[in-house]
């Protein structure tokens, strides 16, 4: 429920957001599924550095927006191959994250929610609204963690203390952000907090 009408795919060169007008895509494409995409008839765009693939586009002023592949058609373009392939996240620091990492699974070690974002819900589940929470690392670098109001864990409370976070790196507007797949992607850190400064 935290990733809506979207697949995030990656290989060794980077990641792409695939927009699809369908929900519960994780049932057919669970994490660790290898796929092939037939590109003929699809459109690719750049949304503030986030590469997107979709079924159509529209022009809004000076902006070109990529629209999702229609539900009745997406299986014609996206062919599922193997499943249960381990996906190794890219170990990286907040300051190193850039648009070359969008739609990739990343791992940040020794990060914590800032004090005002500890022991509060991840999202506004009753109102179905997303919320942003801020993570900080040993060097004081910060990044947003965005959680949908539809996320199955949205009403869980954010933990205190240093954690290792595995998440998908995305860009919304000019905001760099992380999107959790589920709460199992919040783990104990690997070691003590060591500054890179």
> Between these two residues, 178 and 46, which has the higher pLDDT value?
178
CB atoms < 10 A from the CB of 77, how many? Answer: 19
What is the structure's pLDDT at 197?
A: 53
* Contact criterion met (CB below 8 Å) for 112 and 133: no
Indicate if the pLDDT at residue 49 is higher than 80. no
What's the pLDDT band for 64 if we cut at 50, 70, 90? Answer: confident
How large is the average pLDDT for residues 90-118? 95
pTM above 0.75, yes or no: yes
pLDDT in tens, 136-171: 999 999 999 999 999 999 999 999 999 999 999 998
Q: What is the 3-state secondary structure (H, E, C) of 78-109?
A: EEECCCCCCCCCEECCHHHCCHHHCCCEEEEE
Task: Give the closest residue to 50 by CA, choosing from 104, 87, 126.
Answer: 104
pLDDT in tens, 74-97: 999 999 998 888 889 999 999 999
What's the pLDDT band for 66 if we cut at 50, 70, 90? Answer: very high
Phi, psi of 115 (to 5 degrees): -50, -45
* Contact criterion met (CB below 8 Å) for 94 and 135: yes
Which alpha helices (DSSP H) does 15-156 contain, by range? 74-77
3-state secondary structure of 74: helix
* Contact criterion met (CB below 8 Å) for 177 and 144: yes
What is the structure's pLDDT at 56?
A: 95
Indicate if the pLDDT at residue 46 is higher than 90. no
User: Burial letters for 138-155: b for 16+ Cβ neighbours within 10 Å, e otherwise?
Assistant: beebebbbbbbbbbebbe
């Amino acid at each position: 429920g935290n990733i809506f009408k979207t697949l995030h795919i990656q290989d060794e060169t980077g990641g792409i957001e695939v927009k699809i007008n369908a929900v519960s895509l994780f049932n057919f494409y669970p994490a660790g599924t290898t796929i092939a995409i037939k590109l003929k008839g699809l459109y690719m765009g750049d949304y503030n550095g986030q590469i997107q693939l979709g079924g159509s586009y529209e022009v809004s002023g000076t902006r070109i927006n990529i629209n999702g592949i229609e539900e009745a058609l997406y299986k014609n373009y996206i062919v599922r191959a193997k499943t249960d392939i381990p996906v190794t996240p890219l170990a990286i620091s907040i300051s190193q994250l850039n648009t070359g990492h969008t739609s990739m699974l990343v791992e940040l070690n020794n990060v914590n929610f800032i004090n005002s974002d500890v022991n509060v819900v991840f999202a506004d589940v009753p109102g179905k609204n997303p919320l942003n929470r801020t993570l900080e690392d040993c060097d004081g670098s910060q990044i947003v963690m965005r959680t949908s109001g539809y996320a199955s864990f949205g009403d869980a409370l954010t933990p205190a203390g240093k954690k290792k976070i595995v998440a998908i790196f995305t860009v919304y507007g000019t905001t760099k952000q992380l999107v959790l797949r589920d709460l199992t992607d919040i783990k104990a850190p690997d070691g003590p907090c060591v500054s890179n400064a």
